Amino acid sequence: MYKILAKTLFVGRKLHYLPSCHSTNDIASELLAQKKATEGTLIITDDQIAGRGQRGNAWESVPYQNVTLSVVLLPNFLHPKDQFLMTMMISVALIDLLCAFLPDGLRIKWPNDIYYYDRKIAGILIESAIQQEDIESTIIGIGLNVNQSQFITPNAISLFQITNRQFHLEGIISRLCETMEKRYLELKGGDWTTLKSTYSKSLYRLNQVHRFQSTEAFTGKIRGVEDTGKICIEVNGKILTFDFKEVKFIA
């Protein structure tokens, strides 16, 4: 069981703890359907049996070692076309949380992975329910590698592997609730400029010359993202924009 002592108004005030479950996002979705979840409700598990990444990808986590949780938000103030701001909000909140432990090397790998240098320390899965043009609810699933010492996934890394110290999960979750609420209220309050610029300047490989794969391989520099979330890459002095499916990073 978790005691979350976050200094927040709503994020983490209501908590559902499951010793083990398939996926916290699925539980959050069930709770919403049963009207048992309100804004800020957290769903935490110690053993996520079938943690999900993007469409069919699995999320690897050893029981009791990491943060695997979902939070329910009701961003009905956003039009679905602006929902990339939710990606920005949670990515920046994770950077806010982690920079207290990792003073350098933290980056957002577009669109929503948190990297420590070239390795992934946290992943995000955002699922929303939309009717006509209204976002009815959003479930943000977060997997943060904390105390796990070994990974099968080749480019994964944990806080323990970087700092060589063990962390209390409760403390990390409490702090995450606080950074998340702060950034979410910033978004809700209409301060999109701060969020966009903080997200953009934290981008992995920003302003560096790298190889990318689109219909063909090319060399370019990431310059930022559009409001839609499309990435802007400068190629031969021209800015080109790409959808998530249209471009890949080449190591």
Cβ distance to other proteins smaller for residue 55 or 238:
55
Cβ atoms within 10 Å, residue 5: 12
Cβ distance to other proteins smaller for residue 34 or 131:
131
The CA distance from 115 to 203, in Å, is: 10
- What are the residues binding other proteins (CB under 8 A)? 52, 54-56, 80-81, 83-84, 86-87, 111-112, 125-133, 136, 228-230, 243-245
Cβ distance to other proteins smaller for residue 112 or 145:
112
Cβ distance to other proteins smaller for residue 49 or 130:
130
> Three-class SS of residue 114?
strand
Alpha helices by DSSP H, listed for 99-209, are 159-163, 169-188, 192-201
Residues 6+ apart with CB under 8 A from 191: none
- Minimal distance in Å, beta carbon 80 to other proteins? 5
Q: Which residues pair with 206 in a beta bridge?
A: 222
The CA distance from 107 to 122, in Å, is: 11
- Minimal distance in Å, beta carbon 106 to other proteins? 19
- Minimal distance in Å, beta carbon 229 to other proteins? 4
Cβ distance to other proteins smaller for residue 130 or 209:
130
- Minimal distance in Å, beta carbon 135 to other proteins? 8
The CA distance from 246 to 251, in Å, is: 17
Tokens 């010793």 identify what position? 19
- Minimal distance in Å, beta carbon 78 to other proteins? 11
CA trace torsion 133, 176, 231, 195 (10° rounding): 80
Which run of H or of E encompasses 143? strand 134-144
Structure tokens at 146: 């904390």
Cβ distance to other proteins smaller for residue 40 or 229:
229
- Minimal distance in Å, beta carbon 230 to other proteins? 8
Which run of H or of E encompasses 32? helix 24-33
